[in-house]
Amino acid sequence: MTPSVVAESSQGLQQLPFKPEGYNYWTWRGYKIHYVEEGEGFPIVLIHGFASSSFHWRYNIPQLAKRYKVYAVDLLGFGCSEKARIDYDALIWRDQVVDFLKEIVKQPSVLVGNSLGGFTTLLAAAALPDQVKGVSLLNSAGRFGDDISTTDKTEETALHKFIVKPVEEIFQRVVVRLAFWLTMRPDHIEAQLKSCVYKNHSNVDEDLINSIVRPAADPYAWEVYYRLVKQLMSNPTKYTLDSVLSQLSCPLLLLWGDLDPLVLHDHDRTKANRITDFYPNTSLVNLQAGHYPQDEVPEPVNKALLDWLSTLDISAHSLEGASEI
């Protein structure tokens, strides 16, 4: 399959075209899931981060697709995938990726994930150890267990459960909906990307902003945001990096943006080194980038990823010879 590259960035990089209608769709548990599929060869599956989409791999897909079959999937609730009104949990996205590997990819593969997508790839790799031949994380979400201070929960009174809590929820919905409307304006998105996420602003362009604004226009997008915020506030510590890494059995590559302004607090400055110490089968590449190195500094990311892929024992799992999952 020839990559659908018909555009270049202002830096002359090949870029996957932004298509408002999306590329391919798959029905999972009755929900519409969007994904990109390019190239031929051993499968590489790319998983985006929070509030992002498959388009965030726009500079990586064309280069990877020259040697591999590349998939980039929108997690449920994000991008062009359906904005399902469900209770979101880390295992929802894990199950989505696991089923995507079984039903669409149908072969052993390598998973690459950024931010929320990084933790999702770890969960999926732990669930399918025989099919996932390697994992690469770019500024992955997740915390180690000893970073988390636990507090005792007091039993809810009837007054709080049936009166106070419902009123609080109504207030929270109003606040979140207003906050979502304010933060999803194009000018605000651009300002936030430049001030809080990207250290190098050259790739913060109209296509990137549109890829965030258009999914946010979905009438249920704010509801997804509300449910995610509520889940994170109520149970942010259920799954930890150490517990998931303990179940991993494949090579791991960390492509780490050392200038990430989103993870400089709560011990996260040394997260990449802690992962390396905890999981010996890890390679670490430090990058002068923020939270999304794949889009901010795509050339060194592509080079490091391709170099690492060439060291993996995946030659026996070619497109023609691999057995189906």
pLDDT tens across 133-181, in order? 999 999 999 888 875 544 334 444 544 444 334 444 544 555 655 566 5
pLDDT at 10: 53
Query: What does the DSSP 8-state code read for residue 78?
Result: S
Contact 255, 284 (CB under 8 A): no
**Mean pLDDT estimate for the chain:** 82
Q: What is the pLDDT of residue 172?
A: 56
Cα R_g (the chain), whole angstroms: 20
Name the phi and psi angles at 70, rounded to 5: -115, 130
Question: Cβ-count burial of 78 within 10 angstroms (0-12 exposed, 13-18 middle, 19+ buried)?
Answer: buried
Pair 147, 266: CB distance under 8 Å: yes
Identify the weakest region by mean pLDDT among 35-39, 96-100, 144-148: 144-148
The CATH number of the domain where 115 resides is what?
Answer: 3.40.50.1820
Query: Does 6 have pLDDT greater than 80?
Result: no
CA distances from 93 to 140, 191, 240, 263, 322 (A): 15, 29, 16, 22, 25
pLDDT band at 197 (very low <50, low <70, confident <90, very high): confident
Alpha-helix runs per DSSP H in the chain:
61-64, 90-100, 116-127, 158-159, 165-183, 186-192, 206-216, 221-234, 241-245, 271-278, 293-296, 298-309
User: 254 lies in a domain?
Assistant: yes
Q: Quick one: pLDDT at residue 60?
A: 97
168 falls within a domain: no
CA atoms within 13 A on the CB side of 173: 9
pLDDT at 120 over 80: yes
132-138: strand order across its sheet: 24-28, 31-38, 69-73, 43-47, 109-114, 132-138, 252-257, 282-287
- Look up the domain containing 132 and give its range: 7-146+237-317
pLDDT at 228 over 90: no
Residue 225 lies in a domain: no
What is the mean pLDDT of the segment spanning 288-292? 92
Phi, psi of 35 (to 5 degrees): -155, 155
CA dihedral 187, 77, 94, 111 (to 10 degrees): -50
Report field, pTM of the whole predicted structure over 0.85: no
Q: b/e string for 254-269 if b means 16 or more Cβ within 10 A?
A: bbbbebbebbeeeebe
Instruction: Tell me which residue of 63, 52, 49 sits closest to 16, measured CA to CA.
Output: 63
Picking from 148, 123, 29, 16, the residue whose alpha carbon sits closest to that of residue 72 is: 16
pLDDT band at 317 (very low <50, low <70, confident <90, very high): low
Residue 325 within a domain: no
User: Is residue 292 within 8 Å of residue 49, measured between CB atoms?
Assistant: yes
Looking at residue 300, what is its pLDDT?
Answer: 97
pLDDT at 57 over 60: yes
Distance CA 24, CA 60 (A): 18
Q: Which residue has the higher pLDDT, 65 or 6?
A: 65
Ranking 82-86, 122-126, 150-154 by mean pLDDT, the lowest is: 150-154
Question: In terms of pLDDT, which residue wins out, 266 or 182?
Answer: 182
- Whether residue 196 lies inside any domain: the answer is no
Q: For residue 75, is pLDDT > 70?
A: yes
CB of 71 closer than 8 Å to CB of 37: yes
Q: What is the average pLDDT across 263-287?
A: 82
Query: Within a domain: residue 105?
Result: yes
- Lowest-pLDDT range, 39-43, 205-209, 223-227, 277-281? 223-227
Residue 219 has a pLDDT of: 79
Confidence (pLDDT) at 3: 45
Domain count of the fold of the chain: 1
Decide if pLDDT at 318 tops 80. Answer: no
- Is residue 72 included in any domain, yes or no? yes
Rounded to 5°, the CA angle 200-206-208 comes to 65
Assigned domain for 284 exists: yes
Q: Would you state the pLDDT for residue 186?
A: 81
- Three-state DSSP class for residue 258: coil
pLDDT of the residue at 121: 97
